[in-house]
Every structure is written in structure tokens, then in C-alpha cells.
Chains A and B, each alone.
Chain A
Amino acid sequence: MDLIGIEGRRSAATGVNQLRVDMKGGLMAHRYGGKYTEAALAGRLFVVASQGAVTTTKDDATTWTGLGVGNPIGSGKNLIMHEFGWSLIIVGSDDGLVGLASCAIGTDFEALLTQRNCKWGGGPSVAYCDSAATIEAPILERVCGTHGMGTTATEMSKPPQIVDLAGSIILPPGRAVVTWTSEIVTSGLQFHFVWEEIDA
């Protein structure tokens, strides 16, 4: 059966419409809505944020601190990471790089922080969210920006430092994603993650 469309814009208010194509036969598709709306309305989208400025550990330290999301072994879910945000709350105590690393969830990663469904009442998450744990050596996977020591008396503001991961990190059961800084930053940074949970 051929899929047939009609070239050109129409003005159809309601009812059944034929598909529209461009002059070369390509389907004309009107994007609509926010890309996370469907997952959020369905209760599959979750968020967690640091509830205060955290001290971060250096490089691949296994006595790690920051913000991390882990998918516990046996959860039956995959975690699709969509967004990572970070900001300085005060003047940085050192300069360096902010990134994301992954590691095995290990035994010390726990549900220390409360993640929230992006639709209130939309069901629980399987994730463990932690700000301090002894983890297996993380491997840096994403380079997300530079934190400096610039004085807050110079800059009016810094734009949102939000990384659109767009589902490019999948955490199967037993894996975790953790914030990574090249240097120790003392009580200066806060982070957040947005992710979706689907059956593994």
C-alpha cells in the first residue's frame, strides 16, 4: 500500500486530512510540544538536585562527593539520562573542569537524596541518588564546562549551565553516573539531573 501525500499547505480546521508533502515528496511534519512532555505526563521522568552547595572530589577519586544517580542491580529498569545542570553558588575555590563520569554502582551508593517525579504523585523511581559514597573508579565520559575563581563582583550573571544529554547516557541496572571535577571545589557547586525510567 502506497503512502500518499499532497503537495502544498491546506487550511483544514478539523476532520480527516491527507498527509502533506513538500515539492520533493518529503513528509511535512510539524513538531509540537516539549520533547519531555510525554514522559513527564506518563510519570516516567524524574529529577534530583543538590540541596546545598557540595564539596567535590578531585579527578577519579573513589571517595567521591558531588551528585550521582545509580541504577541498583535488579531494578528491572534502564535509566535514560536527559539533562545535567551545574552552577557555582559562590566564588569557586579552585579552577578546573566539570564533567560526568560513570562507574559500577558498587555497595556504598545509597538512596541518600530524594529524587522527585516530574509529575507530582506520578510514581516512585528505582534510582539511588547520592552525594557522597565510596565508589569504584569512575571513568570520565563527558566534558561539560569550566569552573573558575572569577570574582562575583565582575560578572553580572552566568547563563544556565545545562547540558542537554538527550538520552545519550543509558544506565542499565548496576551502573551509575556521577559528577566529576578535575579539582576539589569546596562548598561551591550545585548540580541536578533529569532522567527517564523504562523497563530494561
Chain B
Amino acid sequence: MQLETKVGPANLSSGAPSQLRSDTGGGLLAQVYGGKYAEAARAGRLFCVANAAPVTTSKDNDVTWTGLGIANPTGSGKNIILHEFGWAHQIAGDDDGLVGLATTTDSGFLATLTARSCYYGTGTSIAECVATATIVAPILERVCGTHGMGAVTVQMAVGPNIVDLAGSMIIVPGRSVVTWTSEITTSVLMFSFLWEEVDA
């Protein structure tokens, strides 16, 4: 079967049928529209969570960890597809270092923070979100920026410090992703995650 298109623009009225249009090289012309996460959000598969207040972060691969984390509990039947990670100072930092993302198991996680559907009232997340837990030693996987100690009176604004993960981290049942800082920061940083949940 040979599928054919037509070169050159049409001038269609609403509801009119038309051959699909191609360029002179035979490539199909497509107008991309909509936000890339709109379909998942409307279907109730997209969720987010953020710290409610600045958190004190633990250092390096400390197992008495604090920050923001998401676990996919063992037996959930879902995969978590991570799309976005955000981080920012709320006040001046008290130490300098690196912000990253690490992964570990779901050990130590509880649903102490509430994951919110990106389409209010649609869908329920299986994720367990926490700001503090005793975890299995995490492994750093992503390097996401540098936090400093600059005074808030010097810079007008910083960021956004948002990492487009674009689905490049899949958290399977029994695994988790946690924020990672190379140094302890004391009640200055806040984090957020955006993710999608699909059947495993």
C-alpha cells in the first residue's frame, strides 16, 4: 500500500477533508501543538510534589538522608517516569556545593508528603514522598547545579533551576529517587519533582 501526500498549502474551511501535505522532499508537514505533558495530565497520570518549607539536606551518600524523595513501593504495579526536577534557595545558602539526584531502594520511605495530581481531582498517585528517611546508601546519577552562599542583596533573581529529565529516569517498584547535596545545607533549599505513572 502506498500512502500519498500533496505538495503545497491548501485553504480549507472548517471540517473540510484534505490530503495531508508534504514538502518537496516528500517529508510530511506536521504542526506540533500542545504541551508535551498535557495528555498525561488530562488523563490523570501526571503528579507533582514539592517541599512545603526549606529543608535541611544531608551530606553526600548519608543514609540518614533529608531533602525530597519519591519511592515507588514494592508491589505497586506501576512504573514512575520522572519528567522534571526543580531546586532553589529560599534564603541565602549556608554552604557551597553540588545539587544532584541519586537513586536507592524504597526502604525507609513513607507517604509523609502528599503527591498531587496535575489535574486536580483526577487520579491517585502510588508514590511515597518524603523529606526525611533512613535509606539504603544512594548512588549519585545526575549532576544538577551548584549551590552557593551569595547574599540575597546581590542578585535580582536566579534560575529557574529546573532539570528537564524528559522521562530519562524510570523508577520501578522497590526503587526511589532522592535529592543529593555534597554538603549539609540548613533550611535553605526547596525541591520539586514532576512524574508520570504507567502500568509496569
CB-CB under 8 A from B4, the residues of chain A are 1-3
Contact B143 A116 (CB under 8 A): no
A129 within 8 A of B: no
> Which of A19, A27, A89 contacts B182 (CB under 8 A)?
A89
Contact B30 A26 (CB under 8 A): yes
CB-CB under 8 A from B21, the residues of chain A are 21, 24-27
* Nearest-Cβ distance from residue B150 to partner chain A, whole angstroms: 4
> Which of B9, B14, B39, B166 contacts A30 (CB under 8 A)?
B39
Q: Which of B73-106 contact A (CB under 8 A)?
A: 79, 81, 83, 88-89, 92-93, 96-100, 103
**A-contact bits for B3-42, CB 8 A (1 contact / 0 none):** 1111001111111111111000000111111101111100
Contact A41 B79 (CB under 8 A): yes
Known A-B contacts A27-B20, A27-B28, A85-B142; A157 and B148 likewise in contact (beta carbons under 8 Å): yes
Contact B170 A118 (CB under 8 A): yes
* Nearest-Cβ distance from residue A82 to partner chain B, whole angstroms: 7
Interface size for B (C-beta < 8 A) is 79
> Which of B12, B17, B162 contacts A23 (CB under 8 A)?
B12
Known A-B contacts A4-B18, A31-B34; A161 and B145 likewise in contact (beta carbons under 8 Å): yes
A103 within 8 A of B: no
Contact A89 B141 (CB under 8 A): no
Q: Which of A151-190 contact B (CB under 8 A)?
A: 152-162, 164, 190
Contact B145 A37 (CB under 8 A): no
The residue in chain B whose Cβ has the minimal distance to the Cβ of A45 is B168
B139 within 8 A of A: yes
User: In the assembly, what is the distance between CA of A90 and CA of B98, in Å?
Assistant: 8
The residue in chain B whose Cβ has the minimal distance to the Cβ of A164 is B164
* Nearest-Cβ distance from residue B127 to partner chain A, whole angstroms: 15
CB-CB under 8 A from A160, the residues of chain B are 144-145, 161-163
Contact B19 A4 (CB under 8 A): yes
A91 within 8 A of B: yes
* Nearest-Cβ distance from residue B66 to partner chain A, whole angstroms: 18
Contact A152 B166 (CB under 8 A): no
> Which of A21, A51, A87 contacts B145 (CB under 8 A)?
A87
Select the stretch in A5-13, A68-76, A131-139 that faces chain B.
A5-13
Q: Which of B18-73 contact A (CB under 8 A)?
A: 18-21, 28-34, 36-40
Q: Which of A68-103 contact B (CB under 8 A)?
A: 82-83, 85-91
B residues within 8 Å of A by Cβ?
A: 1-6, 9-21, 28-34, 36-40, 79, 81, 83, 88-89, 92-93, 96-100, 103, 139-152, 154-155, 158-172, 174-175, 182, 196
List 8 A-B pairs, Cβ < 8 Å: A2-B19, A4-B18, A19-B20, A22-B12, A24-B9, A30-B38, A32-B38, A40-B169
The 5 closest A-B pairs by CB, nearest first: A34-B167, A37-B167, A152-B96, A34-B166, A25-B21
